[in-house]
A and B are shown apart, each in its own frame.
Chain A
Amino acid sequence: DAGVIQSPRHEVTEMGQEVTLRCKPISGHDYLFWYRQTMMRGLELLIYFNNNVPIDDSGMPEDRFSAKMPNASFSTLKIQPSEPRDSAVYFCASSLDEGLSNQPQHFGDGTRLSIL
């Protein structure tokens, strides 16, 4: 079975441009998570969805960030306008609804974003 697929793997763009990151979760997984990883702050949860519905977006840093999940097999994270401090590795993860105590998250390989 294919794992979580993210695209693009690398993105370099200029400040002010719109950036769209894409994620295809593992088929059948009910939960989808977007994380950001930096050296300074480690791995931070930005937002997560359950059955395509956003449940908690309290980790989204600013209004410049938005995420959608139009169907069970696709999600996007958009930054508009982008700023240099948004540079990081963005991960998407998905998991089955197995209950609170046993919930492995399966991560994609991430998108390395550089804003110049």
Chain B
Amino acid sequence: TQLLEQSPQFLSIQEGENLTVYCNSSSVFSSLQWYRQEPGEGPVLLVTVVTGGEVKKLKRLTFQFGDARKDSSLHITAAQPGDTGLYLCAGLSSNDYKLSFGAGTTVTVRA
């Protein structure tokens, strides 16, 4: 059983469309990170959110941390083929340095 549940598992959209990926848990995290992983490579950190209710923007990507610090979302505006990849959320326990990863959302943006 995953500590962090991501949805949807797969997402295929046309270039220019918007998409949202969700990351939910019953646990509270001290911070939450989003990574993107491309085939044959390791995950690369996109953003860290720390404060409940926090919103961070990275160009066309918007990340939100839930008020209770249990959930998060990633919204991509006007998706491009370069956004294709596996998006992973990871929660940092407030007790130790261990990250718990979600199973990931595979995003495919068709040209």
- How many Å from the CB of A8 to the closest CB on chain B? 14
A101, B2: Cβ atoms under 8 Å?
Answer: no
B103, A42: Cβ atoms under 8 Å?
Answer: yes
Q: B-side binding surface: helix, strand, loop or mixed?
A: loop
B102, A42: Cβ atoms under 8 Å?
Answer: yes
A56, B98: Cβ atoms under 8 Å?
Answer: yes
Residue count of chain B within 8 Å CB distance of chain A: 24
- How many Å from the CB of A99 to the closest CB on chain B? 10
* A101-B92, A107-B43 known; A42-B2 Cβ under 8 A: yes
Chain A CB within 10 Å, residue with most, of B43, B50, B97, B98: B97
Q: Who on chain A is nearest to B103 by CB?
A: A42
B104, A42: Cβ atoms under 8 Å?
Answer: yes
Is B45 close to A, CB under 8 A? yes
Partner of A4, one of B40, B42, B48: B42
B45, A91: Cβ atoms under 8 Å?
Answer: no
Q: A-side binding surface: helix, strand, loop or mixed?
A: strand
- How many Å from the CB of B30 to the closest CB on chain A? 5
Is B101 close to A, CB under 8 A? yes
Contact pattern, B 67-111, Cβ under 8 Å of A = 1, otherwise 0: 000000000000000000000100010101111111110000000
B101, A43: Cβ atoms under 8 Å?
Answer: yes
**Which residues of the partner chain A approach B30 to less than 8 Å between Cβ atoms?**
100-101
| Complex Cα–Cα for A26 and B30 (A) | 25
Is B11 close to A, CB under 8 A? no
**Which residues of the partner chain A approach B97 to less than 8 Å between Cβ atoms?**
31, 48, 50, 55, 100, 103
Residues on B lying within 8 angstroms of A by beta carbon are: 2, 30-31, 33, 40-45, 48, 50, 88, 92, 94, 96-104
27 residue pairs A–B, Cβ–Cβ below 8 Å:
A31-B97, A43-B43, A43-B88, A44-B101, A45-B99, A45-B100, A48-B97, A48-B98, A50-B97, A55-B97, A56-B96, A91-B43, A100-B31, A100-B94, A101-B30, A101-B48, A101-B50, A101-B92, A103-B48, A103-B92, A103-B97, A104-B48, A107-B42, A107-B44, A110-B40, A110-B41, A110-B42
